[in-house]
Amino acid sequence: MNATQNNEARKTARPAPAKPRTDLGKGWLGKTLAGTFCGLAIALIASGFFMLPDTKYNTVFDKYQIAMWMVPPIWLAVLSFCYLFRDALRAWLWLGGASVAGFALFKVLAP
Amino acid sequence: MKIRKEVLDIYKAVHTWTGIVAGLALFIAFYAGALTVFKHDLAAWVAAPVQDTRPVDLHDADRLMEETLRARPDAAEDLTLTLRATDAQPAQLSWQSPDGARQYLANFDASGQLVINEREPTAVADLIDNLHRTAGFVPGSVEAGILVIGFIAMMYGLALVSGLIILLPSLVKDLFALRPGKNLKLMWKDAHNALGFFSLPFHLVIALTTVVFAFHDQIYDTQDVFIYEGAMMDQWTMPAPRVQVPSLAAKAGGPPAAQGTQLVPPALMLADLRELSPGFEPHYMDYHDLDSERPSVRIHGVDPNYMMRYDAFAIMHPYTGEMINASYLPGYTDGWTSWLTVFFALHFATFGGAAVQWIYFLLAIAGAFLFYSGNLLWIESRRRRAQDKGLPEQKTSVRVMSALTVGVCLGCIAGVSASLVAGKWLHGNVASLNTWHVIVYYAVFFLSIAWAFLRGASRGAVELLWLCVAATAAIPLTSLIGWLAPATGLWANPSSAARGVDVGALAGAACLAWMALATRRRQKHGQPDSVWALARA
């Protein structure tokens, strides 16, 4: 196929039904809330995993302070990228699901 | 880098909204933050001279403390032995009234008698710091203001991430471009992007550490419930790694040192610290709860060769001389604690000495400009442009935002300078100078905002810039008057810290005067449909 044909093919392909553009701004409030609350929950759970196996009878000095320090970066990361979900419901389901599953797993693993 | 348009659209919206909501508060926090780097020098500039500045004889310090405690048992809770005098604080023994309004200074006079002097200590260092930590939100409640700033800092973090995302597609093309010309928005955008991108690491560090400082209690409380199941106290009270103190090492193995009623001579503790950490320069010793079961003394100081948490310190037992916690003493920080010192030092510029302090000062001023230019961009992209039928009436949102930007930013600058100067002019005429520092700041700040609304952004900007020039130039002028005419009751402290503030203020006033002239020029010769043009017919 030469270049002209290639262009022809592209031209004919263009009018094909364009994929409807998703407006990610729709549901921004719901997404922001999901990112804020679930992001905080996920960050706290991550700090819980970090503390394993020292949540009790810890012998590592100052480790618990690092566990506090790691919460804001993870929180901000989840909040920053929650807008990439197609809508607010999906944001809540994914992030909320991750929070619940993460917390359950933490409780199983925690001493 | 290619990013889908709908992704760019949402992050543009996120950037605009977080920026416009948080920008003005961040301007204040950054301007005051830049000054916080030098807060002790500002306090040294304003502090009234103390009559008796004779330093405590360190070899007599334990006797001085014991006699003081006999005369004033209420001092046992919090007693400070200052080792390095500044204009604001002589190298004497001091403590404060419970509300912090009065300070008592103790020393022996020439005949060896205990003398206690009382005064109002200057709170300028703390006031600048509080303005930085709260952006002046919620006057009267620092705690509430700090929580507000916690949320502002989250928005700031979100603005950084979204700003980076929307910059990525044109990063290579635009980063080194600065396009001055008729399209003002393009020029401001180039400046905003270049500044934001190159100082991004600094801003990310500041945003995240600020969220930690604002919410650490709440995060710990939540972790206590969900992670430690109520047992966080065990983590909190875990003893620090043991460090043997040299002067006690000889007696090691013998019976444990008796917790006598005799204070260990401060000179002995300092000698121990010198041996443990030779580069550590002690500034003051903070004795806590001397009359309780758990007395302690924190020896604070600096060692610019180390990353420090706020400053460096060691906690020792004042009656036995044992080391309680050396984990922040330079050379004795290890494990997770060394990460903590890095996090703190990166926010407080407590590493590398004066060079890093000046870099942080400039980064913070540049940060303040980043937020200011962000607001300008918002205004430039929303203003109505001139059509053929004359100059348009600007939208209310544009008028309000431009007046608010001018009033808040310039009001903060003028307010801080005026508040500092007031400390000298009102000295001796008011009951509490520290109260008046706050009153003067808020008065100038709110009147400036009102002025910007009353006169409009354009005229208001020039007039308020001249106010900033006047208030800031008054700092070195006050020193000059104090030096030439001491009869006025004004004074100029001779220390290099106080002189440095005079020089810095003079340079600042010159910058502000240049800005005032430039703004005036734009009023007259700039684009007539700009919000910065002089009032139209």
Amino acid identity, residue B81? L
Can you tell me the distance from the alpha carbon of B32 to that of B412, in angstroms, rounded to the nearest whole number?
9
Rounded average pLDDT over B288-303? 94
Phi and psi at residue B391, to the nearest 5°: -80, 140
What are B70-123's pLDDT values in tens digits?
999 999 999 999 999 999 999 999 999 988 889 999 999 989 899 999 999 999
pLDDT, position B89 = 92
Q: Among A23, A56, A62, whose Cβ lies nearest the Cβ of B340?
A: A62
Residue at token pair 């409380």 = B221
Based on the number of CB atoms within 10 Å of its own CB, is B8 exposed (0-12), middle (13-18) or buried (19 or more)? middle
pTM of the model: 0.91
pLDDT, position A103 = 95
Sign of CA dihedral B3, B4, B5, B9: negative
Q: Rounded to a whole number, what is the distance in Å from the CA of B447 to chain A's nearest CA?
A: 35
Give residue ranges of B with CB < 8 Å to any A CB.
Answer: 5-7, 9-11, 13-14, 154, 157-158, 161-162, 207-208, 211-212, 215-216, 219-220, 222-223, 226-229, 231-232, 234-236, 238, 240-241, 327, 335-337, 339-340, 343
Which stretch of B167-176, B182-191, B254-263, B516-525 has the lowest confidence by average pLDDT? B254-263
Instruction: Check whether B497 has a pLDDT greater than 60.
Output: yes
Rounded average pLDDT over B335-342? 94
**3-state class of B471 per DSSP?**
helix
Q: How high is the ipTM of this complex?
A: 0.89
pLDDT, position B260 = 65
Residue at token pair 């790691």 = A70
Q: Among B10, B327, B339, whose Cβ lies nearest the Cβ of A66?
A: B339
Q: Which has more confidence, B49 or A39?
A: A39
Residues of chain A in contact with residue B11, where contact means CB-CB under 8 angstroms, are 83
What are B157-183's pLDDT values in tens digits?
999 999 999 999 888 787 777 777 777
Instruction: Check whether A108 has a pLDDT greater than 90.
Output: yes
What are B435-460's pLDDT values in tens digits?
999 999 999 999 999 999 999 988 99
Angle at A27 between CA A25 and CA A29, to 5 degrees: 100
Residues of chain A in contact with residue B343, where contact means CB-CB under 8 angstroms, are 69
Cβ atoms of B78 and B96 closer than 8 Å: yes
Closest Cα in chain A to B156? A76
CB contact under 8 A, A56 and B231: yes
pLDDT, position B182 = 72
Can you tell me the distance from the alpha carbon of B181 to that of B200, in angstroms, rounded to the nearest whole number?
27
Cβ atoms of B364 and B31 closer than 8 Å: yes
Q: Which of B139-148, B202-211, B373-382, B481-490 has the highest mean pLDDT?
A: B202-211
Provide the 8-state DSSP code for B86.
B
Cβ atoms of B441 and B35 closer than 8 Å: no
Q: How confident is the model at residue A19 (pLDDT cuts 50, 70, 90)?
A: low
Residue at token pair 């870099």 = B359
Rounded average pLDDT over A79-94? 94
Q: Rounded to a whole number, what is the distance in Å from the CA of B200 to chain A's nearest CA?
A: 15
Going by C-alpha positions, the residue among B156, B160, B58 that lies closest to residue B108 is B58
Instruction: Check whether A8 has a pLDDT greater than 50.
Output: no
Can you tell me the distance from the alpha carbon of B284 to that of B80, in angstroms, rounded to the nearest whole number?
7
Helix H, strand E, coil C: the string for B42-82 is HHHHHCCCCCCCCCCCHHHHHHHHHHHHHHCHHHHHEEEEE
